[in-house]
């Protein structure tokens, strides 16, 4: 089985044409296991078949750390920096609206495109010095610039506030210690953002022991499309049915199940109300640490009874349970 985890550099903005004013801020954002330990976690290494018996794969945002509020603050900082307004009102994402976005669309650029194409009914924002971008190229340039600024701002927040969720490090270390288990991160976020999160929360040494790390920059389709998890299985040369994914959202759950993998949900305040079991989750818990989720409680039953064995027996939320105390 495989355990996978979801995993920003300076950018100078330049543009030609109508969108140039949006980008004129001058912002400069700041064994198989043994072999893998010497390689960067974003390496495209493909392992020989039979290298691993199982894999554990983690999403990043909301799983390794609760980052969604930091993402929301960083997006709003970018909108404010660029002075964006729609129909005269400043662009600002509320907590409630961002909860909807993160359970609907994967990736930061995807969220912004969704907002300006769907939520605002195709009305693109103005800035103090520019009209709304009208061509697809200008719209893409604006989104790219916003994302670059947002990522740089987000990295600053991460450096100040990032703390891993309870139980994540212990579970990851146990999987890393097993030579027949591959460990990875699969995240729709940018390479710059995820690398910063992993460096702060995991540390460089642990991060370098990941067997696979696939990010939003590495695939052409983001969650809920299963491409990112299918790509992880291909690189590990392992059957997807032998992989267990740790996710926190409906978008991630759909991606994992679409790839044919087992999925454990560790939900957050913003995702606790989702019907994860109804959408196929194999188990859900509020936090790994609060339920003493261990490597053996996940993979022990699978080793004994096969890939379809029930996991986290006696530890997971019962299917009929109402929502976690986050909702109370």
- pLDDT score recorded for residue 129: 87
Mean pLDDT by runs of 10 across the 328 residues of the chain is 40 33 40 49 77 97 88 96 96 94 89 97 95 96 97 91 92 98 94 88 93 94 96 98 96 97 93 93 96 97 95 92 44
Could you give the CA distance from residue 77 to residue 155 in angstroms, rounded to a whole number?
Answer: 13
Could you give the CA distance from residue 249 to residue 223 in angstroms, rounded to a whole number?
Answer: 10
Could you give the CA distance from residue 289 to residue 79 in angstroms, rounded to a whole number?
Answer: 36
- Active-site residues, by number, are 59, 61
Q: Which residue stretches of the chain are H helix? A: 32-37, 68-81, 95-102, 108-114, 136-161, 168-177, 191-201, 204-207, 227-236, 250-258, 295-305
- pLDDT score recorded for residue 175: 98
Q: How far apart are the first and last CA of the chain?
A: 36
Cβ-proximal residues to 291 (8 Å cutoff; 6+ apart), any chain? 167, 285, 312, 315, 316
CA 241 remoteness from chain centre: 21
Could you give the CA distance from residue 139 to residue 236 in angstroms, rounded to a whole number?
Answer: 37
- pLDDT score recorded for residue 183: 98
């Amino acid at each position: 089985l495989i355990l996978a985890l979801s995993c920003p550099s300076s950018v100078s903005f330049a543009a030609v044409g109508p969108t140039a004013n949006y980008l004129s801020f001058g912002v400069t954002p700041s064994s198989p296991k043994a072999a893998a330990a010497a390689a960067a976690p974003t390496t495209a290494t493909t392992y020989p078949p039979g290298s691993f018996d199982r894999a554990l794969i983690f999403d990043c945002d909301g799983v390794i750390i609760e980052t969604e509020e930091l993402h929301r603050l960083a997006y709003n900082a970018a909108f404010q920096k660029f002075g964006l307004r729609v129909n005269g009102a400043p662009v600002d994402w509320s907590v409630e609206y961002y909860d909807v976005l993160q359970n609907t669309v994967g990736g930061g650029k995807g969220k912004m495109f969704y907002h300006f194409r769907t939520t605002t009914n195709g009305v693109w924002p103005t800035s103090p010095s520019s009209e709304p971008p009208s061509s697809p190229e200008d719209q893409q340039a604006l989104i790219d610039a916003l994302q670059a600024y947002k990522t740089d701002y987000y990295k600053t927040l991460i450096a100040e506030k990032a703390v891993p969720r309870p139980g994540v490090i212990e579970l990851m270390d146990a999987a890393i210690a097993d030579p027949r288990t591959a460990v990875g991160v699969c995240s729709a976020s940018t390479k710059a953002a995820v690398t910063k999160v992993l460096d702060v929360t995991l540390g460089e040494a642990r991060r370098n022991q990941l067997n696979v790390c696939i990010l939003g920059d590495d695939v052409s389709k983001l969650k809920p499309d299963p491409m990112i998890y299918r790509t992880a299985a291909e690189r590990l040369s392992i059957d997807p049915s032998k992989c267990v994914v740790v996710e926190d959202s409906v978008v991630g759950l759909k991606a994992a199940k679409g790839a044919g993998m087992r999925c454990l949900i560790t939900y957050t305040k913003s995702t606790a109300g989702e019907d994860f079991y109804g959408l196929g989750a194999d188990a859900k818990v509020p936090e790994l640490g609060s339920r003493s989720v261990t490597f053996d409680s996940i993979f022990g039953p699978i080793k004994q009874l096969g890939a379809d064995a029930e996991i986290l027996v006696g530890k997971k939320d019962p299917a009929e349970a109402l929502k976690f105390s986050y909702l109370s």
